[in-house]
Amino acid sequence: MTRNNVERSALTEKLGVDIDPELLSLALTHRSFAYENGGIPHNERLEFLGDSVLGQAVTVRLFTRYPDLDEGQLAKRRAGVVSTIALAEVARGIGLGQHVRLGRGEILTGGNDKDSILADTMEALIGATYLSAGPDAATAMVLRLVEPLMADPARYGAAMDPKTSLQEIAARLSLPAPTYAVEASGPDHDRRFTATVTVGDVVTTGTGSSKKQAEMAAALTAWRELDARA
């Protein structure tokens, strides 16, 4: 078995499901890699399918588990669980970034840890699972992966609006208001931003393709640290 096959076998073990090797390879292929390799197929169609499977699985679970929540509350929780930041967190938990096939430009700008790429690839894997193992297996996998998010209501607000959530928890802990510093790097057509947020003795960083994304990533990390203290 080749090294790539071993690594992908380890990935499917973490997912808890068998995925057809060709579909798995497709799910892990970002459009930047496809473009640099002669326009081969990439994962965006699988991402489209996975997004629907994810949304349905989360919607049904929330509807059945929380009968006392109204439509607005259910919608807020669902939005948090299926958000880019939440899916990227799930992806990092299974080490997905090291498996994504990216073009050279994306590799050089840290694409393996970009929230958007991780979240999109996560959805593509869900789509590949649906086609390989069927709807029941895909739904079961989704619920295994997002269950920790669904079990922690505080994370919904943090995932959707980490800067506000960080400000709120800082006030609750009698800490100074968060302050942000952002640096940009890379050419104009492919800028990469790194944000540093400071809240008392907590200093965290985040990256993104925009200043807003970088600040949100840094804020979410800081929120997690403070939430653990609280």
Rounded mean pLDDT of 105-116? 87
Beta carbons within 8 Å of 22's beta carbon, 6+ residues apart: none
What are the structure tokens assigned to 230, written together?
A: 């609280």
pLDDT score recorded for residue 156 = 64
Q: Can you give the pTM of this predicted structure?
A: 0.75
Q: Examine the pLDDT at 3 and tell me if it is beyond 90.
A: no
Residue 139 has pLDDT above 90, yes or no: yes
Using alpha carbons, select from 58, 51, 81 the residue that is nearest to residue 159.
81
DSSP lists the bridge partners of residue 204 as 197
Alpha carbons 208 and 115: distance in angstroms, whole number = 8
Task: Give the residue numbers marked as catalytic.
Answer: 51, 123
Residues 6+ apart with CB under 8 A from 152: none
| CB-count exposure of residue 168 (10 Å: 0-12, 13-18, 19+) | middle
Query: What is the C-alpha radius of gyration for the chain, rounded to an integer number of angstroms?
Result: 18
Q: Is the pLDDT of residue 170 over 80?
A: yes
Judged against a pLDDT cut of 90, whether residue 153 lies above it is answered with no
121: pLDDT strictly greater than 90: yes
Average pLDDT of the residues in 13-18: 90
| 3-state class percentages of the chain: helix first, strand second, coil last, to nearest 5 | 70, 10, 20
Cα separation, 13 vs 95, in Å, equals 12
As a whole number of angstroms, the distance between CA 141 and CA 13 comes to 11
User: What pLDDT digit, counting tens, does each position of 40-55 carry?
Assistant: 999 999 999 999 999 9
